[in-house]
Amino acid sequence: MITVYGIPNCDTVKKARTWLAEHGVDHSFHDFKKQGVPTDHLDRWLKAAGWDTVINRKGTTWRQLDETTRAGVSDVASARVVALANPSLIKRPVVEWADGAITVGFNAADWQQRV
Is residue 67 pLDDT above 90, yes or no?
yes
Return the CATH number of the domain spanning residue range 2-114: 3.40.30.10
Active site residue 10: yes
Please give the DSSP secondary-structure letter assigned to residue 90: B
Whole-model pTM over 0.95: no
What is the per-residue pLDDT for 115? Answer: 81
Is residue 74 pLDDT above 90, yes or no?
yes
Mean pLDDT of 56-84: 95
62, 56 Cβ separation under 8 angstroms: yes
Q: Please state the domain extents for the chain.
A: 2-114
- CA angle, 55 then 57 then 59, to 5°: 105
- For residue 13, the tally of other CB atoms under 10 A from its CB is 21
Q: Provide the mean pLDDT of the chain.
A: 95
DSSP 3-state helix, strand, coil percentages of the chain (rounded to 5)? 55, 15, 30
Mean pLDDT of 81-100: 95
Mean pLDDT of 50-79: 96
Confidence category of residue 114, pLDDT binned at 50, 70, 90: confident
Candidate list 10, 13, 20, 54, residue with the active-site label: 10
